[in-house]
A and B are shown apart, each in its own frame.
Chain A
């Protein structure tokens, strides 16, 4: 079976930070990720929730434990160091946020939707029963506050849990637990010019003070809120847009705030004149979290990145996976050199994302301009990227967002071995008069350096051929060599054949094929109605075919030798992606709100592989990434040399694989945990070795256990469980059969009567015992240092089995005599 796995889910819900300055816990989709602060590596992946995780909190009693709540209605208690779920409490309704209190030992607070009403939520406390076993029910719900905000940022617990604050729109409510008093305050909406809704709230850890952030960029500090009338508040104003999150330092002397400006502001002593800034953090700040010892602070940014900041407001390091950009315009491109996925990263940057390590390798600044986080500005961003075949040249196109007069720039970058990076070689201003729709390189090994050609197609109805001009410069510059057009149609796609001799360019409804030596028009194809959406040439044995997909849902295959349509299929193809290492071409269709995948060879109209309902979202882009070593999947030949990755509309990166994500992640993370958590001493080395062995033994044992279970599931029990209840005989009759079936099979085998009758079974048993032997041998191999006693014990076991065999043999002898 193929399983889909989400790689970099880009909708983080929150993060919490752990005291010993070692771990960052980070919610990513259905998982909670544990990162090490020192190495920036992912240590653990806590997976088990069936839906989005909405909140995580450390257990106030034990800081090595973590509570998490999810939309699937469960609260889980984890040991995040080892990645083990300790307990699961089922609540039953959707849980939207989670809070814990040190004073309330056995209960947590969650936000749930109010029954019977839409879009209203309430804060309830859940009693966590102290039962034995893993799955428990947290049933006793008692409502604390009504009508609260759904976001985690809208509720905060005050000093030592004496009161709870909730904000929603322009209302602030404070509930005092001891006095059972509820105070409501609201801001007037009429007087103020801006939008002064609450966006977040935090409480001072030592004093009775509440800090609230507002949508107009103000921060209000509330005091004296015990009294309904005589409350006071002071205002801090620096942000020009919404305050996304606030955080108090441990002592409460410093307040951190962040917002769209991507500047972290530190306010001292709650006064507006004393403040420090940490500017240019890269992208808008969404969450701020302080470590419990106050040494580090962590900010979560909208582009799926964590920044770790020292207490003296110095940037320390960042943890980043796949950076979520506003829009992936470049498409998914594979860097031939590193096999990394290349796509839009931060604004104006190109990110190189390593799939093996789920990390950003590298971010290349393409636009080279200071990015200003301000709404309403016409930013220029990267729209197209192409690599030459060996990755020595990189071509990028950037344009500003203006529709009428896009500031177009075509840049050509040359890879510099010395500095191990791309260097700008040529910049061409306004290469086309209108938007560039596609670009591709021709770069063949056989033809030498002269073969390097870049083709760009534009909406100004021309395609241009760029070549390198060898001047006195050793590297040479690029300039335009040829401009072609076809009946003044907009050029939409371009593609070189595998040997580089032909260039296919689609002009609206028509595909034109050009000779790349003389730039003569060779032939044209079209399949009206509908514009051509995608084109690509077949590869290897199928290089005589040209594939095209049209807007009106046709997939066509033309034969270039006969210049005729070979076959066509009715399919609304969104993405057409050829595999660079094989003949296969993947087409993703979008029909009736589901995406389906078809893999086919151009020579045959029948697809090799079909996966319907790949995912519910529309797939925008796809890419084949070559594998380092070919995988041995006999069933799926087309996945042997490369792996297929998709990017959906919501910027989730997905892949098709035969293995599950955990399998791939565990070995490395386990090893790392051992390495990381211990200082290197001879003892630790010894311990590490021991642990390693144990782990191996564990897995071996696990296999055995599974094996046994399979054996035990005898046909009788299966029948019992699978037959409908109304056909079954009475329970008293079944009881004996059932109990008999539960008896250990060894006895069955050793029982002399059975052995004679069922030869087949005995053979099987023999096989099984053989297998067991093998595993036993393996165990011997791995554990050299085991005690002698155990060895002898095992030997005796195997001897016993041999004896059994001899016994069986004897029977046949006897009967013959």
Chain B
């Protein structure tokens, strides 16, 4: 008891003393430099910093946040509004943006091709006479013509402003899934399920050449932007073939290893990206089709590929409902989007203003970029005048001037002030305010832990009314299962039950909270048991995997894996 009283005296005295004594400069640079031992060791003697140091504020243990790290990329790709969902008639197999403003986009789904404006949710125009499904509506470079394939094997050339097809190229016997313009604008290439890929002349509406080198459906392709004669097709026979319109056969064959769902050429024409199976592979065309990198970041078939406007990022959509964004320099995933269902097609408007994703269930998901003016406005208002920053700073002390450094005022949090003056109960009160408890539970727990270290936690918890006990119990019941808080909160819960045991039954609210706490702990125990079971199963699995080698050693390895998981969780 003596100690208690003295502590309180100390606190009140110190509180008064604080007013008299000017604040010491805090140890922002807590530690003085090491002396250079070589030159003048006696003069350059540092002073011990900790001596007579000011009160050390409570260290609140911040846990690193699990999950994605905030980078420039995440900030950039998060800058889209909530998506707009448009229902189409069937699975969306292709989306293509017009290369000229106002950047309309053509969506091929089921037997129709819809053209949407940038902000419209209703189609501006519809093409529907295809006698079956329409595939792969693609804009020409000038944005005025549109080519599409159809289920009956026709390739149609459509005028964006007109209604009926301008030309119809007949020659394929099976559905045409691939249509595209060569970069000279006067020829169209197509690929069909009859394993052939053809080249058509627009003015005369005749077939120029037909290649039948693939041994399975030709489902994807693209034209080179640099060379008007070069185009690429990808097929389900696991190959990507590069054709030159001037030759009779393919120039290059690249073995992808899986049915190719999508191919893409970089604007420079030197790099080729192919997607098929779970893999996205990048090939160096100029080196004769050498594999540059193979990416395996999806866990289902990758269906579509797309480059952003700057060419710095590569996007891939997959049946696993994810769109992954890779950096084209490091080929690492920098961001990823999550969608509701499997993705079939994907397109990005120029300037990355809009991301449009087509799904298997016929939903078109459109995301627009957020405007950025708002933040600039608000920042302008907050900034004080430039004068306030430079006031007095430009003065250079002269040789005879005696410099007096202004003591830096140290701001202590409220709980720190109370802890400094040994007011345990008040310090606990200070961190039991709802905003702190809700948003920064680690502060509350840190103060509880500090009080426990000082041996005054019990007295701080005792003597509280119904409302406060209710608050405390709510907090404990909610947070006790978080691994980082568990050790402290278990002691707190122990103490609360000890202290308030005699009054159980007097208040309905408190009783209910006690029950909640019991439930939470019971649930956590069940959960931990399950986890242990899983760990045991994993151990046996690992043990069977590595039976050949020395058993004693392998036991260790297994422990290693599980322990890493455990330590990760501790963060």
Which A positions have Cβ atoms within 8 angstroms of B? 39-41, 193-194, 216-217, 238-240, 261, 263, 275-282, 305, 307, 315, 317-318, 320, 337-339, 346, 349, 352, 354, 356-357, 359-365, 368-370, 372, 374, 376-378, 380, 400, 405, 419-422, 427-431, 462, 464, 471-472, 477, 479-487, 520-521, 668, 672
Contact = CB atoms under 8 A, between A and B. Distances in A.
B49 A363 contact: yes
A318 B3 contact: no
Nearest to B564: A480
B52 A365 contact: no
A36 B422 CA distance: 37
A419 B69 CA distance: 28
A521 B487 CA distance: 35
12 contacts: A240-B2, A318-B48, A356-B41, A359-B45, A361-B35, A365-B56, A372-B454, A419-B33, A420-B32, A428-B567, A462-B559, A479-B568
Contact of B553 (A278, A429, A521): A521
A307 B52 contact: yes
Given A361-B46, A363-B31, A363-B48, 14 more contacts: A240-B10, A279-B17, A362-B32, A362-B34, A370-B419, A376-B455, A378-B453, A400-B453, A405-B487, A429-B484, A431-B567, A480-B564, A485-B555, A485-B559
Contact of B20 (A276, A346, A363): A276
B47 A317 contact: yes
Contact of B50 (A217, A363, A377, A486): A363
A368 B52 contact: no
A405 B49 CA distance: 32
A365 B50 contact: yes
Nearest to B454: A372
Nearest to B56: A370
A480 B563 contact: yes
Choose among A337, A372, A377, A430 the residue with the greatest number of B CB atoms under 10 Å from its CB. Answer: A372
B50 to A, nearest CB: 5
B186 interface: no
Interface string B1-44: 01100110110011001001000000001111111010001100
B30 A420 contact: no
Contacts of B54: 280
Given A369-B59, A521-B553, A349 B6 contact: no
A372 B69 CA distance: 38
Contact of A472 (B29, B42, B69, B484): B69
Interface in B384-428: 419-420
Contacts of A356: 37, 41
Contacts of B10: 238, 240, 261, 263, 277
A377 B455 contact: yes
A305 B48 CA distance: 11
B286 interface: no
Choose among A261, A320, A364, A480 the residue with the greatest number of B CB atoms under 10 Å from its CB. Answer: A480
Given A368-B59, A372-B454, A378-B453, A240 B48 contact: no
Contacts of A405: 487
A481 B557 CA distance: 11
Interface string B191-215: 0000000000000000000000000
Interface residues of B, number: 58
A282 B552 contact: no
Given A277-B17, A357-B42, A420 B37 contact: no
Contacts of A483: 556, 559-560, 563-564
Given A276-B20, A362-B32, A430-B570, A282 B6 contact: no
Contacts of B42: 39, 41, 357, 668, 672
A349 B50 contact: yes
A419 B37 contact: no
B53 interface: yes
B61 interface: yes
A240 B29 contact: no
Contacts of B20: 276
B51 interface: yes
A308 to B, nearest CB: 11
Given A349-B50, A376-B455, A364 B560 contact: no
A316 B323 CA distance: 65
Nearest to B55: A370
A248 B98 CA distance: 93
A37 B17 CA distance: 27
A39 B53 CA distance: 21
A349 B51 CA distance: 11
Nearest to B4: A240
A672 B419 CA distance: 46
B71 interface: yes
Contacts of A318: 47-48, 51-52
A240 B50 contact: no
Given A362-B31, A362-B34, A420-B33, A462 B46 contact: no
Interface of B: 2-3, 6-7, 9-10, 13-14, 17, 20, 29-35, 37, 41-42, 45-56, 58-59, 61, 64, 69, 71, 419-420, 450, 453-455, 484, 487, 550, 552-553, 555-556, 559-560, 563-564, 567-568, 570
Nearest to B559: A483
A484 B33 contact: no
Which 4 pairs from chain A and chain B are nearest by CB? A420-B33, A240-B6, A421-B31, A483-B563
Contact of A281 (B52, B550, B567): B52
B17 A276 contact: yes
Contacts of B564: 479-481, 483
A280 B455 contact: no
A377 B450 CA distance: 12
Contacts of A307: 51-52
Contacts of B49: 363, 365
A482 B567 CA distance: 11
Contact of B34 (A338, A464, A672): A338
Given A419-B29, A419-B31, A520 B6 contact: no
Contacts of A276: 17, 20
A278 to B, nearest CB: 8
A605 B69 CA distance: 58
A137 to B, nearest CB: 42
Contacts of B48: 318, 320, 360, 362-363
Nearest to A263: B10
A193 B2 CA distance: 10
Contacts of A479: 564, 567-568
A283 to B, nearest CB: 10
A484 B560 contact: yes
B237 to A, nearest CB: 41
Nearest to B30: A365
A282 B560 contact: no
B570 A429 contact: yes
A560 to B, nearest CB: 19
A485 B563 CA distance: 12
Contacts of B51: 281-282, 305, 307, 315, 318, 363
Contact of B46 (A362, A422, A480): A362
Nearest to B48: A363
A479 B41 CA distance: 39
Nearest to B567: A480
Given A240-B3, A277-B13, A364-B31, A339 B53 contact: no
Contact of B52 (A238, A282, A482): A282
A474 B35 CA distance: 27
A521 B50 contact: no
A369 B2 CA distance: 25
Contacts of A668: 42
B178 to A, nearest CB: 40
A346 B71 contact: no
Contacts of A672: 42
A307 B51 CA distance: 9
Contacts of B553: 520-521
A377 B453 contact: yes
Choose among A278, A369, A668 the residue with the greatest number of B CB atoms under 10 Å from its CB. Answer: A369
Contacts of B50: 282, 346, 349, 363, 365
